[in-house]
Homo-oligomer: A and B are copies of this chain.
């Protein structure tokens, strides 16, 4: 027998290490603004510092704090930096971190109501809170025929919606007999890649996904959707699913939900709406118009793990007909049978999602909503949009820069007027400086810079600083292009 039979941390050790980890995270939040946002690690550089094999005997966990500084932090791209403006944000907050900690400490499985009733009931309840906070159609509340569920991501929500739509359209035959090769789906050319991925996973096939063209605001052209559906019907195909987006990834385009919803209803398509980031704006009544037309949607998702201070993963998915979702995804082996399930009085969320197991994810959202209140959340959303709009105004007023489109919310798409080469050089220069991190898109064929304001601690000073940095980088690039400075240097680096 070993001299320390349990090997477990003692309660005292857990407390001491726990306090230390809390301190480390509190300190991280304080210093993250000063760390290079985009990691400068070279491929393989992290692994090269790790031992080839797991230790034979246990090590003191205090050792990991030194490794965090030496090995891990240099390999982190700091999504929690106030200077992170890339992609969509994945912001967190103190209350959310504490909620995730609590989730880990309780360690329950919420696959069924019976395996922890509080895990299911708090989730249903918080989804209703969210439906009300966002001003969603009442048909998405759990006291209607619909309801909400936390998914891992908008990808998971899209896949569940597609499976439910497939079942409904084929009269509950798809699950039994496999895909009907005639099913066709629709989304805009600007829809998130997760729609195409889910269409592939579900066995529909990429060729059966029609990508509808967008207008100059990167919103789906509904007349072209109608044309595409009619053409498919005429060809004997079975249109079954359309996905619209509130805030596309590249340009934050807002698809016209009322028209798309009418077309979907007319032809019996499942109407899914993806509001992954921008849906959060509906917490403020003055932006709620982005949801106009959502009352026709069969399913909707928005991600508090993007712009609502809640750790990934936390995608809020709402459906108008929960029976359709459950019918498509349910499975009940003998070893999961229990009285509560058979009574029909409870929700078993395993039937609303792809995997069986599930964490107690509503805890973190509960803590966020209670800590900030509606007022605090609205304050930050408004502030982010205000900062983005102010930035956009400066870009529009500058002779060397231009907006790619008027930014509807907190994402600004813009360019230097010097063309793709200039914009690539400016992007690289800013990102390599470590002072800020932006990402890009290609809009109307042109390389376009994206600045998304949504980080928890992004303030006016951070946005002002990145605007200065962009101008300086552009000027330096322009200088490098002048005769005698080497012309178009490939290695321009800001």
A-B contact pairs, 18 of them (CB 8 A): A15-B22, A18-B98, A25-B102, A44-B345, A47-B125, A58-B376, A59-B370, A79-B109, A80-B108, A87-B109, A159-B354, A166-B203, A193-B331, A197-B331, A201-B201, A249-B335, A335-B439, A335-B450
Q: Which of these, B58, B118, B332, contacts A71 with CB under 8 Å?
A: B118
CB neighbours of A119 from chain B (8 A): 75-76
- CB < 8 Å neighbour of A178 from B2, B205, B334: B205
- Which one of A221-229, A355-363, A462-470 contacts B? A355-363
Query: Chain A 190-218, CB within 8 Å of chain B: the 1/0 string?
Result: 00111011001111111110000000000
State in angstroms the CA–CA spacing of A71 and B122 once bound together: 10
Question: Are B117 and A41 in contact (CB-based, < 8 A)?
Answer: yes
Q: What residues of B have a CB within 8 angstroms of the CB of A152 in the complex?
A: 152, 355, 357
Q: How far is the CB of A270 from chain B (nearest CB, A)?
A: 16
Determine whether the beta carbon of B206 is less than 8 Å from that of A203: no
Docked pose: A38 CA to B74 CA in angstroms: 45
Residues of chain B lying within 8 A (CB to CB) of residue A87: 109, 115, 335
B359 & A312 in contact (Cβ 8 Å cutoff): yes
Interface flags, A173-193, vs B, CB<8A=1, else 0: 011111101010000000011
Copies of this chain, count: 2
Counting chain B CB atoms within 10 Å of each CB, the highest count among A46, A90, A181 belongs to: A46
Set B129, B130, B313, B369: member contacting A357, Cβ < 8 A: B313
CB distance from A219 to the nearest CB of B (A): 17
The reply to whether A132 and B55 form a contact with Cβ atoms under 8 Å apart is no
Task: Give the 3 A-B CB pairs with smallest separation, nearest first.
Answer: A203-B203, A75-B118, A178-B205
A475 CB to closest chain B CB (Å) equals 24
User: How far apart sit A379 and B7, CA to CA, in the bound complex (Å)?
Assistant: 9
A7 touches B380 (CB 8 A): yes
A457 in contact (CB, < 8 A): yes
Q: Which residues of B contact A181 (CB under 8 A)?
A: 177-179, 181
Question: Is A233 positioned at the interface, with any CB of B under 8 Å from its CB?
Answer: no
Q: Is A95 among interface residues, defined by CB-CB distance under 8 A?
A: yes
**A340 at interface by CB-CB < 8 Å:** yes
For chain A, the bracket of interface size reads 35 or more
Choose, from A26-34, A287-295, A481-489, the stretch at the interface: A26-34
B175/A94 in contact, CB under 8 A = no
Could you say which of A43, A77, A181, A357 has the most chain B C-beta atoms within 10 Å of its C-beta? Answer: A357
Q: Are B335 and A457 in contact (CB under 8 A)?
A: no
A72, B108: Cα distance in complex, Å: 12
Q: In the complex, A72→B116 CA distance in Å?
A: 9
Least Cβ–Cβ distance between A42 and chain B, in angstroms: 8
Most buried by B among A2, A106, A376: A106
Q: How far is the CA of A19 from the CA of B95 in the complex (A)?
A: 13
Q: In the complex the two chains form, is B56's CB within 8 Å of A334's CB?
A: no
Closest residue on chain B to residue A74 by CB atoms: B118
Residues A293-328 near B (CB distance < 8 A)? 305, 311-313
Partner of A156, one of B174, B354, B442: B354
B-chain residues with CB within 8 Å of residue A76 when the two chains form the complex: 106, 108, 116, 118-119
A57 to chain B: closest CB distance in Å? 4
Bound Cα distance A200, B77 (Å): 38
B100 contacts A104, CB within 8 Å? yes
Cβ < 8 Å to B, chain A residues 53-77 = 53-59, 61, 63-64, 68, 71-77
A373 interface hit (Cβ, 8 Å): yes
In the complex, A113 has a CB within 8 A of chain B: yes
Confirm or deny: A390 has a beta carbon within 8 angstroms of a beta carbon on chain B.
Answer: no
Max chain B CB contacts within 10 Å: which of A68, A71, A201? A201
List the B residue with the shortest CB-CB distance to A160. B201
Residues of B within 8 A of A359 (CB): 311-313
A87-117 interface code vs B (CB 8 A; 1 in, 0 out): 1001111111110111111111100011111
Q: How far is the CA of A178 from the CA of B71 in the complex (A)?
A: 44
Name A457's contact: one of B8, B47, B356 (CB within 8 Å): B8
